[in-house]
């Protein structure tokens, strides 16, 4: 008997197979993704010479539809860039622009995340990220490669909740149109949460209230340490398919979950310990700071508590759930006396795929005040 070849749907091998997919892109030069409709506007250089490279002057409170697609398809790549400060009084652009995605005519978003956090740049601070599904390159070149399929339509919205206008927003959404998608294909979801001060002895909730069949594929964590000594003894716990008191899946510590060990410790020439940042294909610790950018002042203290950013992608090892999932993180530290319960400032993004319909998100970013998004 002849060998049955596997169904190749991803990887470099797929590039060698002919496809009936139809390549399209959306940006300010082709806002509806029309075939033969890109780069039509004129500039001072003449017709079709970079006439509309970006969206201009988005006022506070305005919502902008970046894409409104009909039919079946899949988004393959998203690129965006924007300033991280509009003025000395408007430094938190990356927390105050909210990215939302709606699939197949749904009324509540499947993605609702501050722009920076979605691209692993929490604290309203950009940093370099080099991973498989998310990459950020100088300066603030935000790239996403999470596949985002849709059966009958897709709508992507940018909501400006900044205190000032956004003078220029650049973006490109690369996608394919398809004749159809198999009914069982799951859609992409991402949810942001934050607790400015976690509850003593209570696990921080990264994700809850998810019902249906799906796969948990990633976590981003923006941590602001509010206490001294080591923060990262807490375990990530995943409750699956009816788990109540105890989870099915857990890590052995926070830095362990994000792929590091022993407090990410490196040693300075003088012998003092420092934390070593890194950015890898599936896990990373790309951001560590004691001072946020765009906060310089001749009068006020610009120092902050220590801020950190981490990501972990469950791409080779997705966490499968059949009916429900809950993901939490313990706030446990260690000092000279041993383990202790901590209280810190945590923000997170959970990334997963599931079959629709999904439950509405419990913490709507748009309903949080500016203070609830503001970094320390």
pLDDT tens-place string over residues 215-243: 999 999 999 999 999 999 999 999 999 99
Going by the DSSP 8-state scheme, the letter that residue 96 receives in this structure is H
- pTM, entire model: 0.93
H/E stretch holding 255: helix 254-257
Pull the structure tokens for residue 206: 């990264």
Q: How far apart are the first and last CA of the chain?
A: 65
HSE-up (13 A, CA, CB side) for residue 82: 34
Confidence bin at 10 (pLDDT 50/70/90): low
Q: Which residue has the tokens 């159809």?
A: 180
User: What is the pLDDT, as a whole number, of residue 232?
Assistant: 93
Cα 198 versus chain centre, distance: 21
- Whether the pLDDT of residue 363 is over 60: the answer is yes
Handedness of CA 31, 140, 160, 356 (dihedral sign): positive
Q: Measured between alpha carbons, how far is residue 203 from residues 229, 248, 254, 342, 364 in Å?
A: 19, 16, 13, 10, 20
- Whether the pLDDT of residue 203 is over 50: the answer is yes
- Mode of pairing for the β-strands spanning 129-130 and 148-150: unpaired
Handedness of CA 25, 101, 322, 251 (dihedral sign): positive
Give Cβ neighbours of residue 123 (< 8 Å, ≥ 6 apart): 95, 116, 222, 224, 287, 289, 292, 307, 309, 375, 376
Pull the structure tokens for residue 44: 């001072």
State phi, psi for 366 to the nearest 5 degrees.
Answer: -70, -25
Mean of pLDDT values over 25-35: 94
3-state helix, strand and coil shares in percent for the chain, rounded to the nearest 5: 5, 45, 50
More confident residue, 310 or 266: 310
Any idea how long the chain is? 376
CB 249 within 8 A of CB 238: yes
Largest CA distance in the chain: 80
Confidence bin at 5 (pLDDT 50/70/90): very low
- Whether the pLDDT of residue 335 is over 50: the answer is yes
């Amino acid at each position: 008997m002849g060998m049955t070849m596997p169904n190749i749907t991803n990887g470099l091998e797929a590039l060698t197979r002919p496809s009936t997919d139809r390549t399209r892109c959306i940006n300010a030069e082709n806002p509806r993704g029309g075939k033969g409709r890109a780069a039509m506007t004129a500039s001072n250089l003449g017709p079709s010479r970079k006439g509309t490279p970006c969206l201009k002057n988005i006022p506070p409170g305005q919502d902008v539809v970046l894409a409104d697609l009909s039919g079946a398809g899949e988004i393959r790549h998203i690129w965006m860039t924007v300033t991280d400060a509009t003025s000395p009084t408007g430094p938190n652009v990356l927390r105050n622009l909210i990215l939302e995605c709606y699939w197949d005519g749904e009324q509540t978003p499947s993605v609702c995340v501050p722009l920076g956090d979605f691209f692993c740049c929490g604290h309203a601070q950009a940093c370099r990220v080099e991973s498989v599904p998310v990459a950020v390159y100088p300066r603030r070149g935000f790239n996403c490669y999470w596949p985002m399929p849709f059966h009958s339509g897709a709508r992507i919205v940018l909501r400006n909740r900044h205190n000032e206008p956004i003078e220029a927003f650049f973006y490109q959404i690369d996608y394919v149109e398809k004749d159809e998608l198999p009914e069982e294909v799951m859609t992409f979801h991402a949810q942001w949460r934050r607790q400015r001060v976690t509850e003593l002895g209570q696990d921080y909730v990264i994700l809850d209230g998810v019902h249906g069949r799906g796969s948990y594929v990633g976590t981003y964590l923006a941590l602001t340490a509010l206490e001294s000594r080591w923060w990262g003894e807490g375990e990530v716990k995943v409750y699956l398919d009816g788990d109540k008191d105890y989870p099915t899946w857990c890590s052995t510590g926070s830095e362990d979950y994000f792929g590091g060990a022993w407090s990410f410790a490196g040693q300075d020439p003088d012998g003092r310990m420092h934390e070593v940042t890194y950015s890898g294909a599936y896990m990373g610790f790309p951001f560590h700071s004691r001072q946020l950018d765009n906060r310089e002042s001749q009068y006020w203290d610009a120092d902050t508590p220590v801020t950190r950013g981490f990501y972990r992608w469950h791409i080779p090892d997705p966490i499968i759930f059949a009916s429900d999932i809950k993901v939490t993180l313990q706030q446990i530290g260690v000092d000279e006396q041993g383990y202790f319960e901590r209280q810190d400032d945590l923000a997170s993004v959970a990334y997963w795929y599931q079959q629709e319909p999904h439950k509405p998100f419990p913490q709507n970013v748009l309903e949080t005040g500016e203070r609830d998004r503001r970094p320390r």
